[in-house]
Structure 1
Amino acid sequence: MAVEVRGLRARRGRFQLEVERLSVNSVTVVLGRNGSGKTTLLDAIAGAIPAEGSVEACGREVSRLPPEERGLVYIQSTPVDPPGGPRRFLRWVAARWGRGEREVEEVAALLGIRDLLDRRGLSTGQKQLVNIAAGLLAGACGFLMDEPTSHLDWFNKRLVDDAVRRLGKPVLYVTHDPYEAAYIGDVICVMEEGRLRRCVENSPTDPAEPLVRRLLQPENQAAGR
């Protein structure tokens, strides 16, 4: 089921977000500079900040529901230290969603973090990998991801991006990296000044360079999906 956004309006201080329509069916990437409104968009969809308009997820209208009832998992860019250690934390998340030790091991293997499960004193990037694993264990109908790989090295970033592509669920993925956008996205949208300026279908057979150049060309016509 798609995540559908219509007529979304939100404010953060003097900054105004306005998105007429956005339809997320697979992996949709929102690409933009710092301060363009990417995180504000995710916060508004998640219900983390007040917003006007319509948000549909899991086949229902959720814009009046609190964040925990929207059926969306929000993976943010700033990692938190897993309480009780990685293995205990992931077991707790798995149990909350009706999953067990097998799923914990599968997700840990997918992200290459099995050796971290019983470790303490994790680095920032390692904490983020555990946080991402927790998000993947959730039985959500859709995912919001705010630059989840920003603290990761190239190797781990590729593991995460590959895992996201295998989810088979709607993912709204925010990044400022056009090459990551070209690698992971089925649809790529450019955000500027709180508005989606252009959305294009991404073809995995096309080289990234021409796609990135097209995306960053100035466009007068606002775009939305």
Structure 2
Amino acid sequence: MELTIAGVGARLGGRWVVDGVDATPPPGCLTGLLGPNGAGKTTLLRLVAGLLEPAAGAVLVSDPGALDPGPTVPVHTMARQVRARHVALLEQSSDAAVPLSVREVVALGRIPYRTLWGTDTDAGAVDRALAAASATHLAERPWATLSGGERQRVHIARALAQEPSLLLLDEPTNHLDVSAQLALLGFVRGLGVTTVAALHDLNLAAAYCEHVLVLSEGRLAAAGSPADVLTPALVRDVYGVDAHVLTHPTTGRPVIAYSPPGAADS
């Protein structure tokens, strides 16, 4: 799905929390949405998902009903059911226990496809989503018995069951160990679905994202490839931290080495 964020802004509590953001994440790629706490990442994701109507600008997506992908429509004007079939948002997940099996949790992603008679137009989508997320072996497990990493993978499967053209993830690596973080982002990157993921870890973004957007106080501070964007000057200006940017010996991607406060520059 083509996505254009055109001068979008949102006001909450009488102030601009997202202010004039222009960006075009590349289709079919993983874009990292970066920035310190309070920068506006979650609000921007909710604007892109169509859950918030922008106070300025628009979030435009290619019209899913058009044969030619050229026409675009403001995402918040799409009918809710249509939008839910094409845009999936995974917000920061809670650890709430629900009396459901994994298969039943993933099947929640099929709600937008239910007919007036309560039937799903493609019951096999749940099995395909479980398989795509490498979670088929978890299908009959009670949700409450899963580890944090397993739950995140099932959340992804639930989103994939929607068969979205645009996948939005809000801090999907929270509470995961290093192995699970790497596996999850590697999996998401390999989906080939236009994806925007809010991330706190700059090194994870540098390792797995093809494109990054950096927010600072609601404004877009930089956009582009991690190698072009994640510079010592950017890290200092946006995060207030001194850092050296190195090159990974295997992948050639940037690696950010932070300097402790008060440490002398080398």
TM-score bucket (shorter structure): 0.7 to 0.9
State the aligned residue count: 212
Structure 1 residues 113 and 11: CA distance shift in structure 2, 3 A: farther
TM (norm. structure 2) is 0.69
**Residue pairs, 1:53-72, within 5 angstroms:** 53-59=57-63, 60-61=72-73, 62-65=75-78, 67-70=80-83, 71-72=86-87
Deviation string for 1:92-140 (max 9, x for gaps)?
535847351541441342xx57246423423572433321221123211
**Residue pairs, 1:124-143, within 5 angstroms:** 125=148, 126-143=150-167
Q: Secondary structure at the match of 2:188?
A: helix
Residue 9 of structure 2 is matched in structure 1 by 9
Deviation at 1:199, TM superposition (A): 1.3
1:142 is matched by which residue type in structure 2?
Answer: L
1:106 is matched by which residue type in structure 2?
Answer: A
| Structure with bigger RCO (C-alpha 8 Å, 6+ apart) | 1
2:77 is matched by which residue type in structure 1?
Answer: R
Structure 1 gaps of 5+ residues are 220-225
**Residue pairs, 1:161-172, within 5 angstroms:** 161-172=185-196
Structure 1 residues 124 and 36: CA distance shift in structure 2, 3 A: farther
Q: Is the 8 A contact 1:15 1:194 kept in 2?
A: no
Deviation at 1:10, TM superposition (A): 0.6
Give the alignment's Cα RMSD to 1 decimal.
2.8
Structure with higher Rg: it is 2
Q: Does 1:30 align with 2:38?
A: no
Q: Does 1:119 align with 2:142?
A: yes
1:69 is matched by which residue type in structure 2?
Answer: V
Residue 216 of structure 1 is matched in structure 2 by 235
- Hey, what's the Cα distance between the residues in 1 that align with 2:30 and 2:80? 21
Q: Is the 8 A contact 2:39 2:215 kept in 1?
A: yes
Residue 223 of structure 1 is matched in structure 2 by none
Structure 1 residues 40 and 118: CA distance shift in structure 2, 3 A: same
Q: Secondary structure at the match of 2:141?
A: coil
Deviation at 1:41, TM superposition (A): 0.6
Residue 222 of structure 1 is matched in structure 2 by none
Q: Secondary structure at the match of 2:222?
A: strand
Deviation at 1:169, TM superposition (A): 1.9
Q: Is the 8 A contact 2:214 2:223 kept in 1?
A: yes
Deviation at 1:81, TM superposition (A): 4.7
- Hey, what's the Cα distance between the residues in 1 that align with 2:151 and 2:141? 13
Structure 1 residues 36 and 115: CA distance shift in structure 2, 3 A: same
Residue 257 of structure 2 is matched in structure 1 by none
- Hey, what's the Cα distance between the residues in 2 that align with 1:83 and 1:8? 40
Residue 87 of structure 1 is matched in structure 2 by 103
Q: Secondary structure at the match of 1:63?
A: helix
Structure 1 residues 37 and 174: CA distance shift in structure 2, 3 A: same
1:46 is matched by which residue type in structure 2?
Answer: A
Q: Is the 8 A contact 2:102 2:138 kept in 1?
A: no
Structure 1 residues 120 and 200: CA distance shift in structure 2, 3 A: closer
- Hey, what's the Cα distance between the residues in 2 that align with 1:153 and 1:42? 24
Q: Secondary structure at the match of 1:148?
A: coil
TM (norm. structure 1) is 0.80
- Hey, what's the Cα distance between the residues in 2 that align with 1:86 and 1:148? 18
- Hey, what's the Cα distance between the residues in 2 that align with 1:91 and 1:120? 13
Q: Secondary structure at the match of 1:172?
A: strand
1:218 is matched by which residue type in structure 2?
Answer: D
- Hey, what's the Cα distance between the residues in 1 that align with 2:147 and 2:59? 32
Deviation string for 1:67-103 (max 9, x for gaps)?
5433211011124656622122324535847351541
**Higher alpha-carbon deviation: 125-134 or 152-161:** 125-134
